[in-house]
Structure 1
């Protein structure tokens, strides 16, 4: 039996959205995942257990909660992604890499 689960989670940047999408996609029995960054919701349609969905999302964002669970309805397929910051402060990680200028062969 397919059901529609709406999860409230903070989606601040594209990395946040990508991470949440990857976490939810690992659950078996999901047919559709729709992210809505303007409302900070993720809509999951499929046979997956809502408890498993919320547990996966809470591994990344502690403040995730289930808004509703019910039968799926046909929705319009308009996907509008508003302009958001490139990365949020939580996802912004800097790596320091040193340049090795002597990487060429020294045998010759």
Structure 2
């Protein structure tokens, strides 16, 4: 079961952000790590079997204040595909009509 964890971390500079991302990526079960928010202070961790409490404690020790903001399951892709299929517009190609101009007008020149 995949879970999505949002952790707000006190990050002042880009060095702190990259350090926090490295710590989160090295945790067992993590599949993806991203920064979120206007100030890029929220760390979004997605994975299977991620220990959010242990990750938060590690971030507190290495970087500074860290608080779990949100934790929940990730929706399956099948549900997303169903929604996309419902919103699709069906397109039917128009029939191609070819007129044979040579049989109706033997002279191809139009200025006569």
Output the TM-score relative to the length of structure 2. 0.59
Runs of 4+ off more than 6 Å = none
CA offsets 1:20-45 (integer angstroms, 9 cap, x no match): 01111111111110113625100000
Unaligned runs of 5+ in 2: 77-112
- Match of residue 70 from structure 2: 68
Aligned equivalent of 1:88 = none
Instruction: Give the distance between the partners of 2:23 and 2:68, measured in 1 at CA.
Output: 16
Q: How much has 1:73 moved relative to structure 2?
A: 4.6
Structure ID, larger Rg: 2
Structure 2 residue aligned with 1:51: 53
- Could you tell me the TM-score, scaled by structure 1's length? 0.61
Q: How many residues align?
A: 74
- Give 1:5's aligned residue: 5
Q: Specify every segment of 5 or more residues in structure 1 that has no aligned partner in the other structure, as ranges.
A: 75-108
Structure 1 vs Structure 2 CA RMSD: 1.7
